[in-house]
């Protein structure tokens, strides 16, 4: 624990600047006052309508002395000498227009007013000659349209910009979020399964804690660290742990945050991000998914992206001119290092690449223990067994596995998560959730023998590293039935025999189905695709055929990923034909081998199929017991789903069952 003196030396995190003048509130008050004035001027009230008279009638009333007051306004809309006369009589001798037809004093008259008539009205001294528009109305007519247009522009444009980019003048501001030390702090204790990566970045923590230790002997800390690894391996969490261990400000931003609809915004945000880093030094700046802005320049169809290249150039310049003595370290993460620009990876920018691989069996157990702290686990839950049965899973997938187990236990009204809940959650995560589909006896029988064929051949050919885990004819995921396997250890590589065994196992379902029904169906389409893919990889990529150790699968890679779209064909037509022949030969050989194995173990095949028709799901140990002893000796324990009832006549059926996809799933988890 650091002493109080160290805490005093560290400057507190800078708070965000206060908000500016509440312009929005002021504009709202202006709009309210303007609306009140407009209503007062344009709508004087609910007074009765004036009587409509003719010019001659007004002259007669004036000569009789019945008009108390009036006004004459010139109206150019009606032509020359056209006027509007308004006024009131001394008594309510007039009538309003129908249907009201009420007595009134007010009147209005519009028409052509001659000079003689105008003199007659002036002699009565009851009329005033007023201009057609007053100063107030003229001001409103000239200013009000501009006010309305400006208001609309503000609410339709500026207001949206304030919400999206936090102000029209802040497009170029960085969107990096500063994580607080108290709320978002993480340490190396929260990161498990990547001990080598933690050791490699630990010197960064030591430099941020005591930079003079390295500067005395002339050492230079790397300017940037690039974390490479599959999704979910903990790259972002490790970067947070570095900042938490060093107790320095941590700025987090995504590569997509530099992208905007306006040109030049990305480069401006890069400059502002580095400026913030200098003000808060020592600190860490973490850029997640840097491949969004760091792709190779001038690559792809139609040339490069100018805006993205400007952002990348700005990033290159800022990192190259960065002083390591300032104590600002850039950490980036990506799962596609092959598409990054070479200038970004050179020494002086991202000096070091830290590869975070998928956790091994020890790392998976450590990850499960970290995430298991927040979950109430039963005493029968063995995390070591779970780690051994989850090869190839990342840290995020393991966390999701425990969460699914907790949700499943809660649905079963349990107070603690038991081992059976974890097993069911693992099957759900790896191979999909069980669901019921209505099948007749013929389809069920064909499916049972299909999966029994996979199970028999898989158990016979297994060398102890990839045993049968579970066999079921209950639809799971996108398949009608499945035969699943679980590796007993981390598989780092496979031999030619192991690949051939996988092809043989894939063909077993079709063969068993044909042996019983004397017919074939499309249920083996997934098996055929998988077998063909493995066989072609053996020939083109692994050199496991008579063609020799020659790689011929370069054109099978994904092309448009930031590299040139043009590719050359490295094999001739004759070689391509020989490749097809070699692939067909592998599949044909393994097909015959599967037929031979099923013929030798026909009794076990029938018993496994019968067990599937009776119990719907059996485990791998039950398959081995049938192969060895001819019968199942271990009890079959499973959580059965309620049977699906067909809808009654006259009632809606609800959601229809999705169409069953053809083919069984892959015999191993992805």
Where in the sequence numbering do the catalytic residues fall?
451
What is the 8-class DSSP label of residue 415?
Answer: S
Contact at 8 Å (CB) between 196 and 363?
no
What is the rounded radius of gyration, in angstroms, for the C-alpha atoms of the chain?
A: 41
Residue 392's contacts (CB-CB under 8 Å, 6 or more residues apart) are: 358, 487, 490, 669, 670
Please name the helix (run of DSSP H) or strand (run of DSSP E) that holds residue 88, with its range, or none.
Answer: strand 82-89
What are the b/e assignments for 418-438, b being 16+ CB within 10 Å? bbbbbbbbbbbbbbeebeeee
Q: What share of the chain is helix, strand, coil (3-state, %, to 5)?
A: 50, 15, 40
Residue 460's contacts (CB-CB under 8 Å, 6 or more residues apart) are: 597, 601, 627
229, 295, 299, 308, 353 from 341: Cα distances, Å: 17, 5, 10, 12, 14
**Chain Cα centroid distance, residue 647:** 38
Candidates 563, 565, 559; CA nearest to 296 is: 563
Contact at 8 Å (CB) between 276 and 330?
no
The span from the CA of 456 to the CA of 189, in Å, is 45
Reported residue count of the chain is: 670
The span from the CA of 355 to the CA of 318, in Å, is 25
The span from the CA of 593 to the CA of 531, in Å, is 14
Structure tokens at 617: 């799901």
DSSP string computed for 192-208? -S-HHHHHHHHHHHHHH
Please name the helix (run of DSSP H) or strand (run of DSSP E) that holds residue 253, with its range, or none.
Answer: strand 250-254
Structure tokens at 578: 């020989």
Strand intervals (E) in 396-518: 468-472, 482-485
């Amino acid at each position: 624990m650091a002493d109080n003196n160290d805490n005093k030396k560290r400057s507190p995190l800078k708070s965000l600047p206060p908000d500016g003048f509440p312009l929005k509130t002021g504009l709202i008050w202006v709009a309210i006052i303007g609306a009140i004035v407009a209503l007062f001027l344009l709508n004087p009230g609910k007074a009765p309508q004036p009587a409509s008279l003719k010019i001659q009638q007004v002259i007669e009333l004036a000569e009789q002395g019945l008009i108390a007051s009036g006004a004459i306004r010139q109206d150019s809309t009606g032509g020359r000498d056209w006027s509007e006369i308004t006024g009131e009589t001394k008594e309510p001798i007039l009538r309003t227009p129908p249907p009201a037809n009420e007595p009134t004093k007010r009147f209005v008259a519009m028409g052509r007013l001659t000079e003689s008539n105008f003199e007659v009205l002036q002699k009565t001294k009851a009329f005033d000659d007023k201009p057609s528009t007053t100063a107030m109305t003229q001001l409103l007519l000239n200013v009000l349209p501009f006010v309305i247009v400006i208001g609309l522009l503000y609410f339709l444009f500026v207001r949206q910009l304030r919400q999206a980019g936090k102000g029209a003048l802040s497009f170029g501001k960085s969107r990096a979020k500063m994580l607080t030390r108290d709320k978002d702090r993480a340490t190396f204790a929260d990161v498990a399964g990547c001990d080598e990566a933690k050791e490699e970045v630990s010197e960064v923590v030591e430099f941020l804690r005591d930079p003079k230790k390295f500067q005395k002997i002339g050492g230079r800390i790397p300017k940037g660290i690039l974390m490479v690894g599959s999704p979910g391996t903990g790259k972002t969490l490790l970067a947070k742990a570095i900042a938490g261990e060093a107790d320095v400000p941590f700025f987090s931003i995504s590569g997509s945050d530099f992208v905007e609809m306006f040109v030049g915004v990305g480069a401006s945000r890069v400059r502002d991000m580095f400026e913030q880093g200098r003000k808060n030094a020592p600190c860490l700046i973490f850029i997640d998914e840097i491949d969004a802005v760091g792709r190779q320049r001038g690559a792809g169809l139609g040339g490069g992206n100018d805006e993205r290249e400007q952002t990348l150039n700005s990033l290159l310049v800022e990192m190259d001119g960065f002083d390591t003595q300032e104590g600002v370290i850039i950490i980036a993460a990506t799962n596609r290092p092959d598409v990054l620009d070479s200038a970004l990876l050179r020494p002086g920018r991202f000096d070091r690449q830290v590869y975070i691989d998928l956790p091994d069996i020890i790392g998976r157990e450590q990850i499960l223990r970290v995430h298991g702290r927040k979950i109430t686990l039963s005493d029968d839950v063995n995390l070591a067994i779970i780690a051994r049965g989850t090869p190839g899973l990342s840290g995020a997938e393991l966390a999701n596995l425990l969460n699914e187990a907790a949700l499943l236990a809660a649905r079963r009204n349990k107070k603690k998560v038991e081992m059976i809940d974890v097993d069911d959650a693992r099957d759900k995560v790896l191979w999909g959730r069980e669901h019921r589909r209505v099948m007749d006896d013929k389809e069920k029988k064909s499916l049972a023998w299909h999966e029994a064929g996979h199970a028999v051949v898989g158990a016979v050919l297994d060398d102890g590293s990839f045993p049968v885990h579970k066999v079921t004819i209950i639809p799971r995921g996108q398949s009608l039935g499945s035969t699943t396997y679980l590796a007993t250890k981390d598989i780092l590589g496979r031999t030619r025999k192991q690949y051939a065994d996988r092809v043989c196992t894939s063909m077993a379902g079709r063969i068993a189905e044909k042996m019983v029904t004397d017919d074939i169906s499309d249920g083996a389409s997934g098996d055929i695709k998988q077998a063909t893919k493995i066989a072609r990889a053996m020939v083109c990529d692994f050199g496991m055929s008579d063609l020799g150790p020659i790689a011929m699968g370069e054109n099978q890679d994904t092309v448009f990923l930031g590299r040139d779209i043009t590719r050359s064909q490295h094999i001739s037509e004759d070689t391509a034909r020989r490749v097809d022949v070699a692939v067909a030969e592998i599949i044909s050989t393994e097909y015959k081998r599967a037929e031979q194995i099923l013929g030798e173990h026909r009794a076990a095949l029938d018993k496994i199929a019968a067990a599937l028709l009776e119990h719907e799901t059996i485990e791998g140990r039950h398959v081995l017991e049938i192969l060895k002893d001819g019968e199942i000796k271990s009890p079959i324990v499973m959580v059965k789903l309620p049977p699906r009832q067909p809808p009654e006549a006259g009632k809606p059926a609800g959601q229809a069952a999705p169409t069953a996809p053809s083919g069984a799933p892959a015999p191993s988890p992805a």
